[in-house]
Amino acid sequence: GAVVSQHPSWVICKSGTSVKIECRSLDFQATTMFWYRQFPKQSLMLMATSNEGSKATYEQGVEKDKFLINHASLTLSTLTVTSAHPEDSSFYICSASKLAGGAETQYFGPGTRLLVL
Amino acid sequence: LAKTTQPISMDSYEGQEVNITCSHNNIATNDYITWYQQFPSQGPRFIIQGYKTKVTNEVASLFIPADRKSSTLSLPRVSLSDTAVYYCLVGGYNTDKLIFGTGTRLQVFP
């Protein structure tokens, strides 16, 4: 199997607070995890690549000080949205890479819906 | 990273076979082709992955011509529950990140 979980599934917070989202690979170890953001009726946008034990690599235009990523183990990566504002409201999805048969395949979590009031 | 192009939307009826074609003209030698399905407010679900020729699993088939510049996802006998967005992505072994295109929004009618 290749199951990826996210917690929480949804969160509502006040503007200015920080929110942490966890991404776990439940039945495999993932050296690399990815974080995406998706706005309504749009495609997934890659935010950053997270490698276990090292700093995340952020895509252009994504503020690393606002979206803190920690990949402390081979099965857990966290995304912290710091000082959240209404424009950060979105659907956040993580994925974890699994190597099988020579190919890297990403398996996605169920997503976390963030609403900032 | 190879860019992909898919039709924005497709319509079908229950019981029909649906073929969604994806173009990836600048696919690299070590790139694999992977298809995902996404329902609203859910993360993408892995459907099938291939490198060349034909791959089949319990839910779909993937056809890849010799030049690998395109691929076709085939869904046999679709049902209403297959209404979703389908994404085609290319990436290789140790090619870490995937860039999502617009995807194909499939609508299945009764």
Q: What is the DSSP string of chain A?
A: ---EEEE-SEEEE-TT--EEEEEEESSS--SEEEEEEE-TTS--EEEEEEETTS--EEPTT--TTTEEEEEEETTEEEEEE-S--GGG-EEEEEEEEEEETTEEEEEE---EEEEE-
Count residue pairs from A and B with Cβ separation < 8 A: 63
- Does the pLDDT at position B94 exceed 90? no
Task: Residue B96: list chain A partners with CB under 8 A.
Answer: 32, 34, 49, 97, 104
What is the maximum span of chain A, computed from C-alpha positions, in angstroms?
Answer: 46
Task: Residue B32: list chain A partners with CB under 8 A.
Answer: 103-105
Torsion of CA B41, A41, A36, A17, to 10 degrees: -80
CB contact under 8 A, B49 and A44: no
- Does the pLDDT at position B95 exceed 60? no
The shortest CB-CB distance from B43 to any of A43, A49, A111 is to A111
For chain A, list residues whose CB is within 8 angstroms of any CB belonging to chain B. Answer: 2, 4, 6, 32, 34, 36, 43-46, 49, 91, 93-95, 97, 99, 102-111, 113
Q: Which residues contact A69 (CB under 8 A, 6 or more apart)?
A: A35, A48, A50, A56, A77, A78, A79, A80
pLDDT tier at A31, thresholds 50, 70, 90: confident
pLDDT tier at A58, thresholds 50, 70, 90: very high
Task: Determine contact, residues A77/A23, Cβ cutoff 8 Å.
Answer: yes
Region at A50 (left for phi over 0; alpha for psi -120 to 50; beta for the rest): beta
Tokens of A85: 């504002």
In chain A, whose CA is at the least distance from the CA of B105? Answer: A41
Tokens of B80: 């209403």
Taking the C-alpha atoms of residue A88 and residue B88, their distance in angstroms, rounded to an integer, is 27
Taking the C-alpha atoms of residue B59 and residue B47, their distance in angstroms, rounded to an integer, is 7
CB contact under 8 A, A105 and B46: yes
Out of A24-33, A53-62, B66-75, the most confident range is: B66-75
More confident residue, A54 or A23: A23
CB contact under 8 A, B43 and A103: no
Task: Determine contact, residues A95/A110, Cβ cutoff 8 Å.
Answer: no
Mean pLDDT of chain B: 92
- Provide mean pLDDT across the span A45-71: 91
Task: Residue B102: list chain A partners with CB under 8 A.
Answer: 43
